[in-house]
Amino acid sequence: MIGTPHEISWNDKILFLEDIGETPYRLDRFLTHLSQAGCLQKIRGFILGTFTDDDRKEKAALRKSVTARIVELCQDTDIPIWENFPTGHSRRNLTLPVGLEVEMDSRTGTLSFHKSP
């Protein structure tokens, strides 16, 4: 909850985003809010998973729209933005542990966890 005592620290985090059945304008509003609150300027990377409809079919057009908006909002940063990561509510669904230190290496395209979950 942004702006409350319960807000997480955004510093040096890698933000992962995926969604099911969400409309483009609501995703845009969410991303714009994160940017206006200064959250996107503090993170170290952005990973976009799958974006699916209610039938869990992937929506490439929605993913491309979200990616374009994130690139626009992060244009003054040098954070890496990965899209189409195989995690979300579709058949391609790798598990991402939460709260572990991770290295996002864009040169090799690898995501490495520093500890075992």
Q: Is residue 6 part of a domain?
A: no
- Nearest 10 degrees: Cα torsion 73, 14, 99, 84: 90
Q: d(Cα 27, Cα 18) in Å, to the nearest integer?
A: 10
Structure confidence at residue 12 (pLDDT): 94
Q: Is residue 2 part of a domain?
A: no
Q: Is residue 8 part of a domain?
A: no
Residue 19 has pLDDT above 80, yes or no: yes
For residue 88, what is the domain's CATH number?
3.50.30.60
Structure confidence at residue 7 (pLDDT): 92
Q: Is residue 49 part of a domain?
A: yes
- Domain span including residue 90: 14-113
Q: d(Cα 6, Cα 82) in Å, to the nearest integer?
A: 28
pLDDT in tens, 54-103: 888 888 888 889 999 999 999 999 999 999 898 888 777 888 888 888 99
Residue % of the chain over a pLDDT of 70: 99
Q: Is residue 90 part of a domain?
A: yes
The domain total for the chain is: 1
Mean residue pLDDT of the chain comes to: 90
Q: Is residue 30 part of a domain?
A: yes
